[in-house]
Amino acid sequence: MNPLCGRCNRVVYPTEKVNCLDKYWHKGCFSCETCKMTLNMKNYKGFDKRPYCNAHYPKTNFTAVADTPENRRLKEQTKMQSQVLYKEEFEKNKGKGFSVVADTPEMQRIKKTQDNISNIKYHEEFEKSRMGGEAPPHQPSTPTSAGYQQAAPSQNFHYEPTPEPVRQAAAAAPPPSAQKRYRAVYDYAAADEDEVSFVDGDMILEVQQIDEGWMYGRVERTGQRGMLPANYVEAI
């Protein structure tokens, strides 16, 4: 069945059919809605499924909104709502871009070591500034001197005593027992100058407990002295 023309509503035969704008037209009926100029597929412009020439194509006009107090109030209210939504989204998504690190014993040991190193370096800088550039010894010579020595109070100014590093608790610990021996159960590589390296099976002598995670001792195989993690050795 032949379709009907979109303008005259009469039957359109295939020889005179124009298919455009979702409709069928006679070639003579496919003209501008305003000036009735005959159009073709190259020079027409469609608007609301109606053909127009370039001169009479409907222009889109914007509606001017009066700047009244009510409109200003609505504008401010919309702006405030946008800020509230932004803050809500920020709080909801805060922290989602960071990776979660497993809280394993090894990570706890590394974190504790870094904290101790930071405290020791801060203490060294403080003592160096008080002693006029002379820093306290970094490598202890004997087990009983594992803690860093505290300089005499300055006579030039009054200062508040700083918290002692965690490792300085070794100064108050009892002298090492010559009979107590430890054996390494894991390999350990020193992470700082005051630590000591050892391998599985090494004997640790002259052990002095520093805190629940660290101790001071001498590796029998190498003769080196220094700090070592307590959970890497076992008592014999």
Planar angle of CA 136, 147, 230, nearest 5 degrees: 135
Which residues make beta-bridge pairs with 69? Answer: none
Q: Which helix (H) or strand (E) holds 87?
A: helix 69-93
Distance, in Å, from the CA atom of 102 to the CA atom of 104, rounded to the nearest integer, reads 6
Residue 72 confidence class, pLDDT cut points 50, 70, 90: confident
| 161-191 pLDDT, tens digit each | 555 555 444 444 445 444 578 999 999 998 8
For 12, the token pair is: 């359109």
Judge contact between 174 and 215, C-beta under 8 A: no
| 110-134 pLDDT, tens digit each | 888 888 887 787 778 777 777 765 4
Judge contact between 205 and 154, C-beta under 8 A: no
pTM: 0.27
